[in-house]
Amino acid sequence: MHRAVSMVAHLGLRLQALPSALGRPFSCAQDVLRRTPLYDFHLAHGGKMVAFAGWSLPVQYRDSHVDSHLHTRRHCSLFDVSHMLQTKILGCDRVKLMESLVVGDIAELRPNQGTLSLFTNEAGGILDDLIVTSTSEGYLYVVSNAGCWDKDLALMQDKVREFQNTGRDVSLEVVENALLALQGPTAAQVLQAGVAEDLRKLPFMTSAVMEVFGVSDCRVTRCGYTGEDGMEISVPAVAAVRLATALLENPEVKLAGLAARDSLRLEAGLCLYGNDIDDHTTPVEGSLSWTLGTVTSGCPSPCLKKNVAMGYVPSEYSRPGTPLLVEVRRKQQVAVVSKMPFVTTNYYTLK
């Protein structure tokens, strides 16, 4: 039996950033990459573009990765996450369809409440992680990973056809909106200036449709991938630049890219699909044939000023405080098993 653990390494240990997490530079010959509605906006603001999951996305801007990371922890940052797959599941049998695909209890969600869940295969392996929100408008709003776009969409479409062929009422729509993530301790304060609704009544993992800085039909969900308070805003593509520009007018807000997003989520102990979880990982056990010390994600923590990592070890080595030897570039380095998250999360909940 192997178990996922977190590790804090001595300052001398260098954990190489994983290419799948941060993306890679691309040349003009790779212009077949998909572009978000904010592509030109990123270039105009000094975004360094890389290939990530078939998309051209900014890895960082003029500020360094560490500066962007720390700004998110202290103020708030704006991330373009429009590469994520957004879908609507409609019809009277929408909940039954989704519960046939994921491990979550979708039927128990209250109106406009969301939950993190997992697509799984017949062996219990994780096909992808996703957020499912039961909206008051009568559909399920689903956000899943760009790297699993094709297989997630095919999985849902196949199940929709299967349900429809047996006479059940269900359909699927791909949402063509852009998706912006405003993350950090001052995110709610910044966004409150542009909405009529009281954001104090919107706790973590809840959602509402509202006008945001004059842009109508935006779905605001209080969630994120940084461990901080924040919102993801699904906005009509034609208005994405206008909304991003309005948010940046507040000096609290700076743009941040994939590099900061990766180190922030790792500090918060949040898994990255394809690195920390995959279709060989079960959601219950993480029972893998991997060996001691296997590191799935790792990077220097700007907040802790230490190197942190997530990985899998046999159960007998998973107790916090257990010293481990981790092989890095053919050299063994000392690491210590620790509790996650590495940095305390600051999600907004109702007391």
Any idea which residue has 């966004």 for tokens? 191
> Which positions ≥6 away from 154 have C-beta within 8 Å?
none
Q: 338 vs 134, 157, 214, 294, 323, CA distance in Å? A: 35, 41, 45, 15, 10
**DSSP state at residue 206:** B
Is 162 a known ligand-binding residue?
Answer: no
Q: Helices 65-74 and 258-267 sit at what angle, rounded to 10 degrees? A: 50
DSSP state letter for 226: S
Query: Of 195, 232, 199, which is closest to residue 210 (Cα–Cα)?
Result: 195
SS3 297: strand
**Sequence-distant (≥ 6) Cβ neighbours of residue 285 within 8 angstroms:** 1, 3
| Nearest of 275, 267, 279, 328 to residue 122 by alpha carbon | 279
Local structure of 181: helix, strand or coil = strand
Please report, in range form, the residues annotated as the binding site for substrate. Answer: 232
Please report, in range form, the residues annotated as the binding site. Answer: 232
